[in-house]
Chain A
Amino acid sequence: MSAAMDTESTYSGYSHYSGHSKKAHRQGSRDRHKSPRSKDGSRSEKSVTIQTPPAEPLLGNDASRTEEGQDDNWGETTTAITGTSEHSISQEDIARISKDLEDSVGLDCKRYLGLTVAAVLGLLVFLTPIAFILLPQILWRDDLEPCGTVCEGLFISVAFKLLILLIGTWALFFRQPKADIPRVFVFRALLMVLIFLFVFSYWLFYGVRILDSKDTNYQGIVQYAVSLVDALLFIHYLAIVLLELRQLQPMFTVKVVRSTDGESRYYSLGHLSIQRAALVVLENYYRDFPVYNPALLTASKSRAAKHMAGLKVYNVDGPGNNASGQSRAMIAAAARRRDSSHNELYYEEADHERRVKKRRARLVVAVEEAFTHIKRLQAEEQQKAPGEMMDSREAAQAIFPSMARALQKYLRTTRQQQYHSMESILQHLSFCITNNMTPKAFLERYLSPGPTLQYDRDRWFSKQWTLVSEEAVTSGLQDGIVFVLKCLDFSLVANVKKIPFIKLSEEFIDPKSHKFVLRLQSETSV
């Protein structure tokens, strides 16, 4: 942080606070807990956030599952190309592939092999009907029977069907691949095999029956080509159903729990393979889960360590090292031990919450006051006072110092300070000023940790993921499957449950059947 920000250390911050507390005649327990608190604070100041080292390809992480080395540049979220894709690819994709080839360090033959196979197949398939129609014209033009309007009609229909096929293929398959998955995409592979067999059989038939025998019935040949295009359109329909529609209807609910702090979310999925389900979970992870903050995790471990510390096992029964018996004895003794760590936790948490609320109140007031200094100039006013006008960036820089200290203190208290640099805060401030946001809207980003996507990429702890699963990753989801998505610092455990079969019955209520009586309880004196 630059000099404009508050540079007082955490220690002085706490003594400043405890000075206030004495004045306010608060209970002494807070002073009693000052020392462990400040120790925690200084520990969090000293602990360095470990970022994924960028130049290290992630190999050997459960290598049985990942058969290819991952691209080290932001493995799963940028333009890495999937293993297989349907039909042909456009020129932009080829350009992008070559750019990626230059960028990436680890070249991946399997991935690009699949891609080239798909491209070649797509091109072949697209040109086949045209070839079927043109080859007789080229080879034995003079022998062909003339066919007038019928053939022309068929030519038009072939042309339009091919155009529709082209557009449909573009819409369905020419999409920027968003992930790099470990195993081949089963349905796509199946479809490619199907198309290949189909086209192959058509060529076989064509070669044997038409080319060899030099069939003169041109109309029949053209109709043969038309039937091929029709069948291709139906295969495209099959592709849509298999790849897109089948997974839309929700069949399973996945509960995803983050291993470090227990954050959990539920997602609904359709019939997907495990790897695709993992992709869905990861895409939603970046949006739904609050960002992973290692600074928040140190407290519980230290508590647990303190609980077991101070117990020693003495063996009075003679020699013989019964290690498991000793550890069991230690656990039993620790469980029976009456210590006040729960008290400490309770007071610490209550204290922390109070402190956070106080700092938050100061922050809100400071920001509100800062925002009152800025006023937007209307168009007609803009000509009147040209000297003092600032753009939003300068306005942000002007009001930033008045709120900087309160903001930094708040971020320190909630352990978020490494997620927001001064530059990012200034940018956000100018963004809010430009869009007429209120102070509360500006503060929304800082008051509580947001999803991972909100922060700068360098702050993410989760860039490369490994899928750990007991079943094959291309097998479909079933009830009770558990898979784990591991990254370096934490893991996401996903538990799949089937949505129950719902028996819905109907009951008809006559609108006239809503009748009521008065229920009385009167008391009569006699």
Chain B
Amino acid sequence: LGAQLYNGVSALLPAGRFLFCCHRQRIEIHKLRQGDNLILGFSIGGGIDQDPTQNPFSEDKTDKGIYVTRVTEGGPAEIAGLQIGDKIMQVNGWDMTMVTHDQARKRLTKRNEEVVRLLVTRQSLQKAVQQSMMS
């Protein structure tokens, strides 16, 4: 099970005045077959039909995006580099910022897909880039 990691730092304008939200990371997870199911090894929370104020990982408590709430040890997601608290922006090109919880689950657990490519945002990454910009 390979993992491909490449950092994408996008939308850095000169003079660094505007910082659009995302310092994104692309993570490619190969699903693991367990019996009849293909599992990814993490749990998601959030969605436009959920209560954003109860999300412990979001910085902005009105953010209704999909967040990674748990990563199982040794699972494909952990191996691929997914961390708890990541916000999933895209799955295989499908936008995940404005979906319901169930839609997100469905997009991640499509039976005919063995590999999912996620575009995630991580807060620690944001802060690190911000700090490097300040100095």
Contacts and interface: CB of A to CB of B under 8 A. Distances in A.
Genuine A/B complex: yes
A523 B43 contact: yes
B79 interface: no
B54 A519 contact: yes
B109 interface: yes
Contacts of B53: 519
A519 B49 CA distance: 8
A27 interface: no
Given A519-B50, A519-B51, A524 B70 contact: no
B65 interface: no
B42 A520 contact: no
Contacts of A526: 39-40, 42-44, 105, 108-109
Contacts of B42: 525-526
Interface in A503-526: 519-526
Nearest to B38: A526
Nearest to B42: A526
Given A525-B70, A526-B39, A520 B108 contact: no
B117 interface: no
Interface of B: 39-40, 42-46, 49-51, 53-55, 69-70, 72, 101, 105, 108-109
B69 to A, nearest CB: 5
Contacts of A523: 43-45, 69-70
The 4 closest A-B pairs by CB, nearest first: A519-B51, A521-B54, A525-B43, A526-B108
Contacts of B109: 526
Interface residues of A, number: 8
A51 to B, nearest CB: 67
5 contacts: A519-B50, A519-B54, A525-B39, A525-B44, A526-B109
A116 B98 CA distance: 92
B70 A522 contact: no
A524 B105 contact: yes
A366 B58 CA distance: 64
Contacts of B108: 526
B51 to A, nearest CB: 3
A517 to B, nearest CB: 10
Nearest to B108: A526
B98 to A, nearest CB: 17
A525 B40 CA distance: 8
A29 B99 CA distance: 69
A525 B72 CA distance: 9
Contacts of B72: 525
A523 B51 CA distance: 12
A521 B105 contact: no
Nearest to B55: A521
A520 B102 CA distance: 12
Contacts of B55: 521
A111 B108 CA distance: 99
Contacts of A522: 45, 50, 101
A521 B51 contact: yes
Given A521-B46, A526-B40, 8 more contacts: A520-B50, A521-B45, A521-B50, A522-B45, A526-B42, A526-B43, A526-B44, A526-B105
B50 A524 contact: no
Nearest to A525: B43
B39 A520 contact: no
Interface string A192-222: 0000000000000000000000000000000
B24 to A, nearest CB: 20
A396 to B, nearest CB: 67
A175 B43 CA distance: 84
Interface in A123-141: none
A526 B101 CA distance: 12
A519 B54 CA distance: 9
B40 A520 contact: no
Contacts of B69: 523
A523 B105 CA distance: 10
Given A519-B50, A519-B51, A519-B54, A524 B40 contact: no
Contacts of B43: 523-526
Given A525-B43, A525-B70, A526-B40, A520 B51 contact: yes
